[in-house]
């Protein structure tokens, strides 16, 4: 795609398209253009940002939409902290950003959030996101060691491991899944709980997460309305058949750890040089399958692992390694990756659900999806660069206030997203948890690393509903429903955040040498990244009166109200 | 918008305060509390319809429960037994339900196409196949929405899900979302711990922030948040919350339902229906029996189901609630007639059974028939939407109702399913 555009001068269609893009950019309302001009280069010198801006703008023009105004500095700052490092900014971080007069202040902040200063928080946030993707939120699964999974993810993200290696490490992992054990490799947790029943879950989840293919139905039959065929499921499944999960028990029952190993596999037919499996058609007929990738690429069907023969020649195949390489080379892999990351920042991906890129499910911006994927590959799958492009895009800078000229752009009612304004979305529970720690300055006192993460897991458990199926499906009541509001009203987390004990956050605010007005300002900045309105100040003052000069109790009431608001919990 | 209209939802401030004061009664002796609930129930039960969905998560093998095929290669080891309904036989491991079958009917000719858990769960709950562009409302949301007017004094959520998450309210909005509780009836974080005056001052402050954000027109979720806040305040201060306290039932009643999660869930469903809740879903998972199915069913799943379901049906009948309360027993699909190499059955949607009873349903009849090996429906097949339409009819909900989805498209209630006429007199 990139090459096509660059070579576009000799292609009529491309020339027309380019001309149209120019028109579109000229049609943007004057104010945003002025804002862009103030920043000098509206693409921050990044061709990938330029590409995103042009593609998204083309979508606006096609749909006859105009984008909203850009978000305020405060709004944008809160948003980018939440999305990149998973928490709201501190008052100081907010002030620093607002005070920065550089024309490229946005690029500077993104650079800082992706840099050394925030590497631990960045890694924590993305480890949370990916733990949920890879093993879900439930604590119930004995075959997964969440702590091991998260430690591996945190290390991968703190080192910014390229995405192709990240995926390969997960798909090919061998070793023990629990930290502290000999041979520990936390990456094994992705598959450690998915190898039962001949690895059906490993097959379905690998295809879904990394290729955006929904194959779980084709285990039993050809897909009723896409091109998925039953043989493809089992040919994909064949890649996992050398892999075994060995359980180490503690006492008699409790699984202590799981070791993933690859072993020579004789196949269900007993001939290891042609190691095959059988599956059953709906009509009861048995069929045979060998490892074949979804694009039809075949792999040597031997069940032997790689080794040297006596005469020095190589033989054997590590099927998972072969699969990982085919996935890295597949055009679906970068598309699935950029779709996931895009949806993290915009609330919606280019397809719904984001992990279904099948032909029956047309994306909202096919060229952008394709082109962004190609650029991700060209950039050696550098996830931080992808995040930089997305967060510096013009669409990401827009206000969440809906304008008349883009009211039709509402994916919540089922329209395809056009990204003409920022879409509201509730914080993930992990983001809320972390934001409350930050807003009350409790993060400094908090234990770091795994101990803190386990505490968070336990808190999260109250929201998880497991459906009790073999696939480990789950849902959450952290979805804007009554249990969530009750938790915010009366739960321990907010109780702690609003406690008035000596040395706590509210106590420090109350005993500082600020005026009452400044104290109220401080609470608003910490939680909402804005100043209170006149009406809010009036109500706050009434609260001071009602508490009869007991300032800390009044601050507690105000703080409780602020933390319980839609504005706090909704990323806007 | 003012505080009172936003948060107290039509209740006057004084009314609200009296409820807050009433919350102190939570500490009052349990008997007084129970008495007031019983009085309420007597008052309410003649006036409203309700439905209880017994959701069998994982996909129960209905040819081992409701539609046995003794002697067939696919039939499995279980034997059929006769029941209190003429001509209806069910599984030998359901002896207590066998005595209640005159209250229930079976549809043995369900035939659907969704054999994936999530898709099947969605389809059976909504009557629609999953669609990336629109979220459809589930049974609970539709029925609560349609019946809420019958119980204007209800202060607790009209759609309660015990044990599982059910399926959400879709385009009807978060106000109709399931209120999920565990089977012990514990609702977390219910205690305010501050005095009512102070709470109302906090709410006033909160309301100002909510209103400002909503006024900035950023999207529907800011408004939804305020609506759910209002419902939460109502619930927190309601003595109707006592209906969840299943442990307050006399011991013999608890024993009758069985000391299991599902048993307590069914008992809670009866209490909630008495209180006026129009829809309760009770979850019994563990039916995804890909291996060793018969031992699991006979030793574990069926005894738990049998005891609780039989207690629910007979208890509702004895209390005069059954004629107004529909019962629906179903899972997302059933299991393959062929028994697999692990002694289990896999997913199967083509031919299976559901059980219904109560409300306007005809009792003690069997609708439809499957072939001798259980693999085909040999009579007219019925779909999720047909079943849903029939349940709505049993509750006197008009099938002419049309909703408007968020995208403006009209959506016929129950996806325009056709009523299974044999289920009605």
Q: Residue A167: which residues within 8 A CB-CB, separation 6 or more?
A: A210, A324, A327, A328, A333
Helices then strands, counting H and E runs in chain B, come out as: 13, 14
- At residue A553, does pLDDT exceed 60? yes
Q: How far is CA A44 from the centre of its chain?
A: 24
Name chain B contacts of A572, Cβ cutoff 8 Å.
218
At residue A127 the predicted structure's pLDDT band, cuts being 50, 70 and 90, is very high
Per-residue pLDDT, A445:
63
pLDDT at A143 over 60: yes
A281 touches chain B (CB under 8 A): no
CB spacing of B165 vs A465 below 8 angstroms: yes
Task: Report yes or no: B408 and B402 within 8 Å, Cβ to Cβ.
Answer: no
Question: Phi-psi category of B36—alpha, beta or left, where left has phi over 0 and alpha has psi -120 to 50?
Answer: alpha
Q: What pLDDT does A63 receive? A: 95
Among A197, A424, A490, whose Cβ lies nearest the Cβ of B219?
A424
Q: Which two tokens stand for residue B32?
A: 């007084």
Q: What is the pLDDT of residue A25?
A: 43
Radius of gyration of chain B (CA): 22
Residue of chain A whose alpha carbon sits nearest to that of B191: A490
Q: Return mean pLDDT, chain A.
A: 87
pLDDT band for position A18 (50/70/90)? very low
Q: Which pLDDT belongs to residue A358?
A: 86
Q: Which A residues in the span 384-443 are in contact with B, Cβ-Cβ below 8 Å?
A: 400-402, 410, 412-415, 423-426
CA distance B303 to B305: 5
Query: Using the beta-carbon criterion (under 8 Å), do A536 and B208 form an inter-chain contact?
Result: yes
User: What are the residue ranges spanned by the domains of chain B?
Assistant: 1-44+195-240, 50-185+245-423
In the structure, what pLDDT confidence band is assigned to residue A220 with cuts at 50, 70 and 90? low
Min CA distance, A70 vs chain B (Å)? 13
Residues 122-161 of B with CB under 8 A from A: 132-134, 157
Q: Which of A423, A481, A539 sits opposite B174 (nearest CB)?
A: A481
Q: Identify the top-confidence range among A270-279, A336-345, A538-547.
A: A336-345
CA gap B264, B270 in Å, rounded:
10
- Find the CB nearest B218 among A353, A402, A536: A402
Q: Comparing A69-78, B5-14, B362-371, B401-410, which segment has the lowest mean pLDDT?
A: B5-14
To which H or E segment does residue A450 belong? helix A449-460
- Is the pLDDT reported for residue A71 higher than 50? yes
pTM of the full structure: 0.81
- pLDDT of amino acid A481: 83
Residue B1 pLDDT? 37
Residue A20 scores a pLDDT above 50: no
What span, in angstroms and rounded, lies between the C-alpha atoms of B297 and A249? 28
Mean pLDDT of all residues in A177-181 = 91
Distance (Å) from the alpha carbon of A541 to chain B's nearest alpha carbon: 11
Please tell me the least confidently modeled range out of A209-218, B41-50, B152-161.
B41-50
DSSP string across B191-210: ---S-HHHHHHHHHHHHHHH
- Percent of chain B at pLDDT exceeding 70: 88
Candidates A352, A417, A464, A469: best to mutate against B (most CBs of B within 10 A) is A469
**Tell me, what's the pLDDT at B173?**
83
pLDDT of residue A554: 94
* ∠ CA B323-B325-B330, rounded to 5°: 125
The predicted-structure confidence for A366-393, as pLDDT tens digits, reads as follows 999 999 999 999 999 999 999 999 999 9
The predicted model gives A326-340 an average pLDDT of: 98
Instruction: Give the pLDDT confidence score for residue B209 in this predicted structure.
Output: 95
State the pLDDT confidence band at A217, using cuts at 50, 70 and 90.
low
Each residue's pLDDT tens digit, B185-202: 888 888 777 888 898 899
Q: What is the predicted pLDDT for the residue at A139?
A: 75
C-alpha angle A481-A486-A491 in degrees, rounded to nearest 5: 135
- pLDDT confidence of residue A244: 95
pLDDT at residue A142, as a whole number: 79
Cβ contacts of residue A458 below 8 Å, gap of 6+? A139
Lowest mean pLDDT among A7-11, B107-111, B232-236: A7-11
* A83-90: average pLDDT: 96
Residues 6+ apart with CB under 8 A from B217: A401, A402
Query: Is-contact A346 A82, C-beta < 8 A?
Result: no
CB A170 within 8 A of CB A209: no
| Predicted pLDDT of residue A11 | 36
**DSSP notation for B363-382:** -S-EE--B-TTSSSB-S--B
pLDDT (mean) for B33-37: 40
Q: Of B73, B109, B59, B127, whose CA–CA distance to B333 is shortest? A: B59
pLDDT for residue A35 is more than 80: no
Residue B104 phi/psi, 5° resolution? -120, 165
Token couple for B165: 């998450």
The model's pLDDT over A88-106, given as tens digits with 9 standing for 90+, comes to 999 999 999 999 999 999 9
pLDDT band at A137, cuts 50/70/90? Answer: confident
pLDDT tier at A469 (50, 70, 90 boundaries)?
Answer: low
ipTM over 0.90: no
The mean pLDDT value for B409-414 works out to: 88
In this predicted structure, what is the pLDDT of residue A256? 85
Question: Measuring CA to CA, how many Å separate B153 from each of B182, B196, B239, B245?
Answer: 24, 21, 12, 19
pLDDT at A6 over 90: no
Enumerate residues 536 to 555 of chain A having a beta carbon within 8 A of any beta carbon in chain B.
536, 539-540, 542-543, 546
Higher pLDDT, B5 or B158: B158
Q: Which residues in chain B are closer than 8 Å to A361, comparing Cβ atoms?
A: 132
Asked if pLDDT for residue A225 goes beyond 50, the answer is no
Q: A4: pLDDT confidence band, cut at 50, 70 and 90?
A: very low
> Confidence class of residue A310 from pLDDT cuts 50, 70 and 90?
confident
CA A462 to chain B, closest CA, distance in angstroms equals: 9
Average pLDDT value for chain B: 88
3 state SS of B110: strand
Average pLDDT over residues A39-49: 83
Q: Measured between CB atoms, does B270 come within 8 Å of chain A? A: no
pLDDT in tens, B72-106: 999 999 999 999 999 999 999 999 999 999 999 99
**Element containing residue B255 per DSSP (H, E):** helix B251-257
Q: What percent of chain A has pLDDT over 90?
A: 65
CATH number belonging to the domain at B50-185+245-423, selected among 3.40.50.360, 3.40.720.10, 3.30.2130.10, 2.60.40.10? 3.40.720.10
Is residue A223 predicted with pLDDT exceeding 70? no
Find the closest chain A residue to B169 by CA distance: A481
Confidence at residue B237, expressed as pLDDT on a 0 to 100 scale:
81
Sign of the CA dihedral running A284, A285, A290, A293: negative
Confidence band, pLDDT 50/70/90 cuts, at residue B334: very high
- Low-confidence winner among A244-253, A341-350, A367-376, A538-547 (lowest mean pLDDT): A244-253
- Please tell me the predicted confidence (pLDDT) of residue B417: 95
Size of the A and B interface in Cβ pairs below 8 Å? 189
- Window 79-108 of B, Cβ < 8 Å to A: none
pLDDT tens for A558-571 read: 999 999 999 999 99
Cα(A535)–Cα(A515) distance, integer angstroms: 18
Instruction: With a cut of 90, say whether residue A458 has pLDDT above it.
Output: no
3-class SS shares of chain A: helix, strand, coil, % to 5: 55, 10, 35
pLDDT at residue A30 tops 60: no
**The pLDDT of residue A165 is above 80:** yes
Q: How confident is the model at residue B38 (pLDDT cuts 50, 70, 90)?
A: very low
Residues 476-535 of A with CB under 8 A from B: 477, 479-483, 485-487, 489-491, 528, 533, 535
State how far residue B250 is from chain A, nearest Cα, in angstroms: 28
Pairwise CA distance, residues B269 & A206, whole Å? 40
């Amino acid at each position: 795609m990139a090459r096509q555009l660059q070579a576009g001068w000799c292609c009529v269609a491309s020339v027309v398209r380019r001309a149209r893009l120019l028109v579109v950019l000229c049609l943007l309302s004057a104010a945003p253009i002025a804002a862009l001009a103030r920043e000098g280069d509206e693409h921050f010198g990044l061709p990938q940002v330029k590409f995103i801006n042009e593609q998204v703008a083309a979508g606006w023009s096609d749909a006859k939409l105009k984008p909203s105004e850009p978000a305020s500095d405060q709004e944008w700052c809160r948003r980018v902290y939440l999305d990149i490092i998973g928490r709201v900014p501190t008052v100081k971080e907010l002030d620093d950003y607002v005070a920065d007069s550089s024309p490229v202040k946005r690029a500077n902040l993104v650079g800082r959030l992706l840099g050394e200063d925030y590497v631990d928080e960045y890694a924590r946030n993305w480890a949370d996101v990916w733990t949920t993707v890879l093993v879900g939120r439930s604590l119930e699964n004995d075959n997964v060691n969440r702590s091991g999974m998260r430690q591996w993810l945190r290390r991968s993200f703190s080192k910014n491991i390229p995405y192709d290696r990240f995926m390969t490490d997960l798909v090919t992992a061998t070793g023990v899944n629990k930290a502290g054990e000999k041979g520990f490799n936390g990456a094994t947790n992705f598959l450690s709980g998915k190898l039962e029943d001949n690895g059906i879950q490993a097959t379905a989840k690998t295809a879904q997460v990394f290729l955006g293919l929904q194959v779980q139905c084709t285990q039993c039959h050809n897909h009723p309305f896409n091109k998925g065929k039953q043989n493809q499921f089992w040919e994909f499944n064949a890649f996992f058949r050398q892999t075994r999960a060995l359980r180490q028990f503690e006492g008699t029952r409790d699984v202590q750890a799981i070791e993933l190993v690859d072993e020579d596999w004789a196949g269900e037919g007993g001939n290891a040089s042609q190691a095959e499996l059988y599956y059953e058609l709906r009509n009861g007929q048995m069929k045979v399958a060998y490892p074949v990738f979804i694009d039809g690429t075949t792999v040597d069907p031997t069940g032997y692992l790689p080794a040297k023969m006596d005469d020095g020649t190589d033989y054997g195949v590590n099927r998972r390694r072969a699969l990982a390489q085919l996935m890295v080379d597949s055009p679906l892999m970068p598309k699935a990756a950029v779709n996931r990351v895009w949806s993290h920042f915009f609330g919606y991906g280019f397809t719904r659900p984001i992990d279904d890129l099948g032909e029956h499910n047309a994306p909202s911006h096919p060229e952008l999806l394709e082109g962004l994927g190609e650029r991700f590959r060209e950039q050696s799958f550098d996830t931080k660069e992808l995040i930089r492009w997305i967060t510096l895009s013009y669409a990401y800078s827009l206000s969440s206030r809906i304008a008349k000229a883009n009211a039709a752009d509402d994916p919540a009612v089922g329209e395809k997203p056009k990204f003409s304004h920022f879409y509201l979305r509730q914080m993930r529970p992990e983001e809320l948890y972390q934001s409350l720690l930050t807003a009350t300055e409790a993060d400094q006192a908090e234990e770091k690393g795994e101990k803190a993460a386990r505490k968070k897991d336990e808190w999260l458990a109250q929201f998880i509903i497991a459906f009790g199926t073999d696939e480990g499906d789950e849902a959450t009541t952290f979805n804007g429903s009554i249990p969530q509001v009750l938790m915010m009203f009366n739960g321990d987390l907010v109780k702690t955040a609003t406690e008035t004990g000596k040395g706590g956050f509210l106590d420090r605010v109350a005993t500082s040498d600020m005026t009452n007005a400044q104290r109220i300002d401080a609470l608003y900045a910490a939680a909402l990244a804005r100043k209170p309105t006149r009406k809010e100040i009036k109500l706050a003052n009434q609260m001071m009166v009602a508490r009869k000069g007991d300032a800390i109790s009044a601050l507690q009431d105000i703080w409780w109200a602020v933390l319980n608001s839609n504005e706090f919990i909704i990323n806007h | 918008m003012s505080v009172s209209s936003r948060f107290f939802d039509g209740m006057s401030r004084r009314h609200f305060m009296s409820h807050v004061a009433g919350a102190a009664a939570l500490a009052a002796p349990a008997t007084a509390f129970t008495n007031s609930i019983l009085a309420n129930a007597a008052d309410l039960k003649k006036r409203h319809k309700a439905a209880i969905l017994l959701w069998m998560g994982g996909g129960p093998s209905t040819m081992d429960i409701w539609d046995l095929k003794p002697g067939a290669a696919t039939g499995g080891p279980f034997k059929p037994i006769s029941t209190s309904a003429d001509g209806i036989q069910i599984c030998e491991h359901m002896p207590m339900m066998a005595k209640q079958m005159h209250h229930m009917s079976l549809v043995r000719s369900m035939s659907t196409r969704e054999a994936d858990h999530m898709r099947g769960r969605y389809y059976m709950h909504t009557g629609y196949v999953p669609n990336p562009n629109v979220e459809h409302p589930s049974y609970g949301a539709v029925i609560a929405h349609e019946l809420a007017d019958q119980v204007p004094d209800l202060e607790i959520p009209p759609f309660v899900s015990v044990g599982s998450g059910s399926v959400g309210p879709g385009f009807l909005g978060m106000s109709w979302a399931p209120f999920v509780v565990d089977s012990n009836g514990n609702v977390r974080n219910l205690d305010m711990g501050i005095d009512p005056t102070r709470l109302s001052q906090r709410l006033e402050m909160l309301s100002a922030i909510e209103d400002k954000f909503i006024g900035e027109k950023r999207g529907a979720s800011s408004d939804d948040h305020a609506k759910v806040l209002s419902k939460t305040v109502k619930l927190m201060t309601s003595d109707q919350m006592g209906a969840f306290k299943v442990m307050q039932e006399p011991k013999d009643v608890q024993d009758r339902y069985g000391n299991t999660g599902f048993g307590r869930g069914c008992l809670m469903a009866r209490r909630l229906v008495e209180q006026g809740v129009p829809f309760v879903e009770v979850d019994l998972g563990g039916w995804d029996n890909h291996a060793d199915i018969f031992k699991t069913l006979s030793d574990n799943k069926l005894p738990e189901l049998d005891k609780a379901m039989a207690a629910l049906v007979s208890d509702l009948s004895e209390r005069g609630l059954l004629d107004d309360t529909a019962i629906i027993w179903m899972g997302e699909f059933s299991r393959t007639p062929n028994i697999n190499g692990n002694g289990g059955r896999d997913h199967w949607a083509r031919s299976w059974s559901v059980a219904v009873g109560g409300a306007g349903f005809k009792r003690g009849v069997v609708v439809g028939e499957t072939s001798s090996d259980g693999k085909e429906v040999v009579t007219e097949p019925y779909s999720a939407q047909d079943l849903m339409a029939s349940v709505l009819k049993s509750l006197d909900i008009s099938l002419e109702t049309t909703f408007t989805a968020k995208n403006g498209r009209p959506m016929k209630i129950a996806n325009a399913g056709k009523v299974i006429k044999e289920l009605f007199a």
